[in-house]
Amino acid sequence: MAKFKTHISFGIIEAFLVTAAFYCCTKLVHPVQAVVIFCLTLIGSAVPDVDSDTARPTQILFGILGIACPVLLLHALQPSLMLKTEEIFCILLAAFLFFQYLLAWFFFRFTVHRGIFHSIPAALIAGECAILLFYNSIWYHRIFFGAAVFLGYMLHLVLDEIYAVDLFGMRLKKSTGSALSFRGESTISTFCAWALVVFLGILCKFSLYI
């Protein structure tokens, strides 16, 4: 298993390459979208370790998600809710505490490291969530954002597999094959993950053509 620091270092390199590729090859990306693609690739490259056995990666990831998710959701809901600034402040604070402490604790306590979060369906789900989260962006930007998260996520899985090979001892470690896998730790988690891939895929298809 690669360390969290390794994932972040490779994630920064990959985020730069992915952003440059989208920016130069498609000619459809402006600086604002380039910043988003960079950040999403980097976040994608770290997210699988939400099930980490050590508390630090989980807390960092939930800290980022605890800020990003409520802000994006409030942005979507604000026109219909017409909330006052102090109400927005309290909602953001509550959401941050929920992500940073309650949800992070739950994941730390109850998830199995190298379980379903280290699998290909989880990478697809993360990409689909990005497409849905940026619901009011231009459709091809949303696909780029989803691809950025997916590519970052896949890099994490590939790195974990590479680190599962003991090059000096020329042998495979016990964790080989547990990251770049189409299944989770149990039949139920595998079934739920693939069902979610299909469900979110359908949502993405409809939301992209509205």
Tokens of 203: 């949502």
Shortest distance in whole angstroms from residue 163 CB to Zn ion: 9
Shortest distance in whole angstroms from residue 154 CB to Zn ion: 12
Cα separation, 194 vs 50, whole angstroms: 19
Residue closer to Zn ion by CB (options 14, 160) is 160
Amino acid identity at 36: V
Residue closer to Zn ion by CB (options 48, 127) is 48
- Near Zn ion by CB under 5 A, which window of 35-43, 125-133, 144-152, 156-164? 156-164
- Near Zn ion by CB under 5 A, which window of 47-55, 61-69, 166-174, 194-202? 47-55
User: Which residues make Cβ contacts (< 8 Å) with residue 112, sequence separation at least 6?
Assistant: 51, 185
Residue closer to Zn ion by CB (options 11, 146) is 11
Shortest distance in whole angstroms from residue 162 CB to Zn ion: 11
- Near Zn ion by CB under 5 A, which window of 43-51, 56-64, 169-177, 199-207? 43-51
* 51 scored as a contact of Zn ion (CB under 5 A): no
Sign (positive or negative) of CA dihedral 139, 145, 148, 153: negative
Contact 43, 63 (CB under 8 A): no
* 128 scored as a contact of Zn ion (CB under 5 A): no
Residue from 160, 189, 194, 200 binding Zn ion (CB under 5 A): 160
Shortest distance in whole angstroms from residue 150 CB to Zn ion: 16
User: Which residues make Cβ contacts (< 8 Å) with residue 1, sequence separation at least 6?
Assistant: 113, 114, 160, 163, 164, 175
Sign (positive or negative) of CA dihedral 80, 83, 89, 94: negative
Number of residues this chain uses to bind Zn ion (CB under 5 A):
3
Residue closer to Zn ion by CB (options 49, 128) is 49
Query: Which residue has 């090979």 as its token pair?
Result: 165
Neighbouring C-alpha atoms within 13 Å toward the C-beta of 96: 12
For binding to Zn ion (CB under 5 A), which residues are involved?
48-49, 160
